[in-house]
Chains A and B, each alone.
Chain A
Amino acid sequence: MSRKSTRSSRVYQQFKKHKLGVFGIWVLVILYILIIFADFISPYNFKETHSRFTYAPPTIVRIVHEGKLHRPFIYGMKRTRDPVTFMTRYEEDRSKVYPIKFFVKGERYKFWGLFETDLHFFGIDADPSQAMILLFGSDRFGRDLFSRTLVGGRVSLTVGLIGTFISVIIGAIMGSISGYYGGWVDVLIQRFIELLRSFPRIPLWLALAVILPPSWPSTWVYFGIVIVLSLIGWMGVARVVRGMVLSLREKEYVLAAKVAGVSDFKIIRKHLIPNIMSYLIVVSTLSIPGMILGESAISFLGLGIKEPMTSWGLLLRQAQSISALATSPWLLIPGVFIMISVLAFNFVGDALRDALDPYRVVEKV
């Protein structure tokens, strides 16, 4: 058997032993499926406002109607006003039953910006002005928080992937140049890294995020944020890569390659980077959560993604005011999603590190 297949199968076996890691992988797979098909799975268009259902609490899906088993359904919602405080209240209207149906027609949306359709994965057969299924409740404008959380996940979960990808590339390049050449190049890059690292993180994010013009469309802002995050995230990678390259460049096979007249660039690309690949994979997985949190922080502070586009951080922004939070605690649900995804990435990263570490003592079977 060739070396490659035995190694990858060994890594796979090791990974499978790590129960939390496997669990994390499944959570991530589900999350990514949810966000890929976000606007199909969500029952409403995430941009659509519904004035009859502002700050509506999550609807409860029931299966028992008047003491008898019923297919999953929801009751209608009655909007009343508290006679004393004039606050809006929502009460279940037990007379109206809306069974949950699959593949229903609802609000129109453009799937992946490609073609327009009104087919939704699930929903109820009623006009949104009469009754709505709001799994996570709704926000100030009566927009469905469930739909918005799914769509917002698109930004939050991809920022981490793309941002980490870019920052690991920058980090690997800078680190290997620094470690391989040594001397003044090394000193220059290392001092530059120290300079960048000595900046307090959040103000630096903000400063860079402010540079993004407010007139930019959402997609541009999105890429702007990715770049801001990766410009700040590469230093840690660069440092460790430098250390690894420092030890790798003394290996005889690097000397052998030099003796054979192979160029420095090729030595870095073909011998140094591949030899630190397993580290890079692990560090990428472990730095995705930082990126997700970073994007949330920027958006939470109002400098990231702009309405009506949304991200988990931006959704949490609505929970900034105490009064909104006190009356409608469901606005915190996007925060739960941030936690789940960050934890899942950390579990997967841990499992990968254990599985890829060649120095780990492997128990004899």
Chain B
Amino acid sequence: MTILSVRNLKTYFKTFEGVVKAVDGISFDLKESEILALVGESGCGKSITALTIMGLVKNAIFEGSIKYKDMELTKLSNEEYRKIRGKKISMIFQEPMASFDPLYTVGQQMVEATLTHLEVNEKEARKICINMLKKVHIPLAEKRFDEYPHQMSGGMLQRIMIAMALLTNPDIIIADEPTTALDVTIQAQVLKLFKELQETFKTSVIFITHDLGVVAELADKVHVMYAGKIVEKARVFDLFRNPLHPYTEALLQSRVKKEYKGRPLPYIPGTVPAATKFPTGCRFHPRCSKVMPICSEKEPPEILIDNSSVSCWLYFRSDEK
């Protein structure tokens, strides 16, 4: 069952340099208890997509629709949105250290979130929170509950943040690069825990990352974003075995591998275009190794191939067949 359906979503910002098309017409579906990875370089619009779904982007021009179950989120009032935020859709952030208010104990902040959405008194809230801390394997949960964020490690805080996101048993969790700030050993630990909890709670997850290793480990489906658009949608297995879009291919190639030892690492030439001045046609064409004349003229259509879809002129003919 589809739990979140995004159609032709656009988020534009008006600035002095022109209109920034941070998110430019993306569509995707999120099914129940599915992990969808949103992959792309920095500045491709992943995080803005997440914040737009949360309804937290201010002073922007929106278009398109975001449907949660049968509810059209774009039409909600602020107050109605607030009741969904944190209760039905939660979010996990990149910087666990910065995401807690240094003035309060983690317990106080968890209780605050609990009391906002659940009809319980403070004592019960405390119980729920400590229970949740135990579920994310925080040792000495009762003691940790009354400690301040600075007394904990980044990995621990990230686990507490996952616990907070799960407190209200939400339908969707948006995880915005939750492991980027952690060191690699802790990363694996947190990811394992995350996967474990996702399976127990049957939560749907939008996992935003630029780390393809994490994607391979965690996701069911992968959407690759480039310059505000989704260029390829595929199941995780298909994507790694048979990347369709040249950008995806290049991304996969630029990962550090054993074979590259002693040789310069492959990379994608050029830089991500500025969001005010996108190239005409396919936005990837100036950096693409398989560029054709049509690429700079017309925007490629979304072409379905087996279980995947790709926006690239390379596959145009195969679509006609």
- Do A and B assemble together? yes
Binding site for B on A (CB under 8 A): 2-3, 182-183, 251-253, 255-263, 266, 270-271, 274-275
Write the B68-103 contact mask toward A (1 if CB under 8 angstroms, else 0). Answer: 000000000000001111110011011100111111
B interface residue count range (under 10 / 10 to 19 / 20 to 34 / 35 or more): 20 to 34
Docked pose: A307 CA to B95 CA in angstroms: 63
Docked pose: A259 CA to B56 CA in angstroms: 8
Partner of A275, one of B59, B101, B112: B101
Contact in complex: B103, A274 (CB < 8 Å): yes
B148 within 8 Å of A by Cβ? Answer: yes
B144 within 8 Å of A by Cβ? Answer: no
Contact in complex: B151, A3 (CB < 8 Å): yes
Contact in complex: B112, A270 (CB < 8 Å): yes
Q: Which residues of the partner chain B approach A251 to less than 8 Å between Cβ atoms?
A: 98
Q: Main SS of the interface on chain A?
A: helix
A256-B161, A260-B116, A263-B82 known, 7 other contacts, Cβ within 8 Å: A183-B59, A255-B93, A259-B93, A260-B90, A261-B84, A261-B113, A274-B103
| Minimum CB distance partner of A270 in chain B | B112
| Minimum CB distance partner of A254 in chain B | B101
B150 within 8 Å of A by Cβ? Answer: yes
Contact in complex: A252, B151 (CB < 8 Å): no
Q: Known contacts A275-B101, A275-B103: does B117 contact A261 (CB below 8 Å)?
A: yes
A-B contacts, 29 listed (Cβ < 8 Å): A2-B148, A3-B150, A3-B151, A183-B59, A252-B94, A252-B98, A252-B99, A253-B102, A255-B56, A255-B93, A256-B91, A256-B99, A256-B100, A259-B56, A259-B86, A259-B90, A259-B91, A259-B93, A260-B85, A260-B113, A260-B164, A261-B83, A261-B86, A261-B87, A261-B117, A263-B116, A274-B103, A275-B101, A275-B102
B38 within 8 Å of A by Cβ? Answer: no
Q: Which residues of the partner chain A approach B56 to less than 8 Å between Cβ atoms?
A: 255, 258-259
Contact in complex: A262, B99 (CB < 8 Å): no
B66 within 8 Å of A by Cβ? Answer: no
Docked pose: A198 CA to B117 CA in angstroms: 46
| Minimum CB distance partner of B100 in chain A | A253
Q: Which residues of the partner chain B approach A252 to less than 8 Å between Cβ atoms?
A: 93-95, 98-99
| Minimum CB distance partner of B95 in chain A | A252
Docked pose: A183 CA to B58 CA in angstroms: 10
Minimal beta-carbon separation of B111 from chain A (angstroms): 11
Write the B104-125 contact mask toward A (1 if CB under 8 angstroms, else 0). Answer: 1000000011001100000000
Write the B144-171 contact mask toward A (1 if CB under 8 angstroms, else 0). Answer: 0000101100000000010010000000
B54 within 8 Å of A by Cβ? Answer: yes
Binding site for A on B (CB under 8 A): 54, 56, 58-59, 82-87, 90-91, 93-95, 98-104, 112-113, 116-117, 148, 150-151, 161, 164
Docked pose: A183 CA to B60 CA in angstroms: 12
Docked pose: A261 CA to B87 CA in angstroms: 7
Q: Which residues of the partner chain B approach A262 to less than 8 Å between Cβ atoms?
A: 86, 112-113, 116
Q: Known contacts A252-B98, A256-B99, A274-B103: does B112 contact A261 (CB below 8 Å)?
A: no
Minimal beta-carbon separation of A172 from chain B (angstroms): 16
Q: Which residues of the partner chain A approach B104 to less than 8 Å between Cβ atoms?
A: 270
Q: Which residues of the partner chain B approach A3 to less than 8 Å between Cβ atoms?
A: 148, 150-151
Docked pose: A257 CA to B58 CA in angstroms: 16
Q: Which residues of the partner chain B approach A266 to less than 8 Å between Cβ atoms?
A: 112
Q: Which residues of the partner chain A approach B148 to less than 8 Å between Cβ atoms?
A: 2-3
Docked pose: A3 CA to B54 CA in angstroms: 34
Docked pose: A300 CA to B35 CA in angstroms: 74
Docked pose: A318 CA to B246 CA in angstroms: 90
List the 7 closest A-B pairs by CB distance, nearest first: A261-B86, A260-B86, A252-B98, A261-B85, A260-B113, A259-B91, A252-B99
Which one of A182, A252, A261 has the highest number of Cβ atoms from chain B below 10 Å of its Cβ? A261
Q: Which residues of the partner chain A approach B95 to less than 8 Å between Cβ atoms?
A: 252
Q: Which residues of the partner chain B approach A253 to less than 8 Å between Cβ atoms?
A: 98-102
Docked pose: A251 CA to B149 CA in angstroms: 15
Docked pose: A257 CA to B86 CA in angstroms: 9
